[in-house]
Structure 1
Amino acid sequence: MFDSLLSAGSVPLLERQAVWGEVRHNVLAGNLANIDTPGYRPRDLDPKAFQEALRQSAAANVPGAGESRYSPPHDPLAGGVPEDLLTATDRPGGDLTFHDGSARSVEREVLTLTRNSMQRQAAIQLMGAQMAMLQAAITERA
């Protein structure tokens, strides 16, 4: 009974956003930790690919959305976040290149880390709010 309540709506999508954000946070923290390592290349997950997968997953879970009579909508996040979206790759270089060929920027790394942290925190807060509404409905409180 509770499984159907927790697997409906936006809770699964928010959960996947939080998981992806946590993995990305670890990758970005590694970039910051290795900022002065000679030859180190910053790594990142692909936010555009994840957002597209999240969009497709949301469309696949809306009744009647994107359905055709030939094929049902594809849910790329069914069963969790696929491994290819959790695999870090080298990030393309920036504008400034150092003598060792690396393109590093503390400001860019901190900005990316902060933005990712805020997006993850928003997903967690939204899940908390939905759980509070569910708890209020179960206990019949307004």
Structure 2
Amino acid sequence: MIDPFLQQTTVPLLERVAAFGQQRHAVLAGNIANIDTPDYQPQDLPVQDFERALRQAVEARRQQDGSQPLLPPSLGVSPANGSLSHLVWQQPTSGIQGAPAVGDTQRRTEDFFPASLSKAEPVRRNLTFHDGASRSIEQESMEMVKNASMQSFAIEVMRNQLNILESVISERVV
């Protein structure tokens, strides 16, 4: 009964962000647990693919609602230097296998997040040891902190939206 109302908010997208953060936390914790394991290759979820799917879902929702974008189509990191100080304009692409096209507005939120976004894959970090493994407790800890911040933000925004909805339902003034 309340599901159609929640689908009109950003709650489904925030749920995806929180769930992705939880899955990524488990993968990063495994990396830290195996930091001294010989030949262990750190793993991570495809963060850039998840961000691309999130942008596509937001764009599809914006097109479906007919609302005007609040921000430019999307900002990306320049591949030349990989830093956020040189942002470049990028149009959203449908490079995720199983995800709908950007202009497809008839898909539900979960259609934009294929199962491939939940598969951990080996990653190469900047530091490589003599056994061929690339591991760094500092790098893994930093990734966990960034991931926890993203997840906490999504949960807090979702909590605020649900509190507003509860206030409306109970006819209270916030």
Give the alignment's TM-score, normalised by structure 1: 0.88
Q: Residue 123 of structure 1 aligns to which amino acid in structure 2? A: A
Q: 1:93 and 2:95 equivalent? A: no
Q: Residue 130 of structure 1 aligns to which amino acid in structure 2? A: Q
Counterpart for residue 72 of structure 1: 104
Deviations 1:67-109 (A, max 9, x none): xxxx634758435732100000001231x32121111110000
Q: 1:26 and 2:57 equivalent? A: no
Structure 2 residue matching 1:61: 3-state secondary structure? helix
Q: Residue 45 of structure 2 aligns to which amino acid in structure 1? A: L
Structure 2 distance, partners of 1:44, 1:140, is: 45
Counterpart for residue 131 of structure 1: 162
Counterpart for residue 55 of structure 2: 55
More helix by share: 1
Structure 2 distance, partners of 1:6, 1:106, is: 40
Which ranges of structure 1 fall in alignment gaps of 5 or more residues? none
Q: Residue 54 of structure 2 aligns to which amino acid in structure 1? A: L
Structure 1 distance, partners of 2:128, 2:25, is: 24
Structure 2 distance, partners of 1:101, 1:110, is: 21
Counterpart for residue 9 of structure 1: 9
Percent of aligned positions that are identical: 42
Which ranges of structure 2 fall in alignment gaps of 5 or more residues? 69-102
Is contact 1:41–1:90 with CA below 8 Å preserved after alignment?
yes
Counterpart for residue 115 of structure 2: 83
Structure 1 residue matching 2:59: 3-state secondary structure? helix
Residue 31 of structure 1 deviates from its aligned partner by 0.3
**CA 1:32–1:76 in structure 2 vs 1: closer, same or farther (change >3 Å)?**
farther
Residue 61 of structure 1 deviates from its aligned partner by 1.1
**CA 1:97–1:83 in structure 2 vs 1: closer, same or farther (change >3 Å)?**
same
Give the alignment's TM-score, normalised by structure 2: 0.73
The number of equivalent residue pairs is 137
Counterpart for residue 122 of structure 1: 153
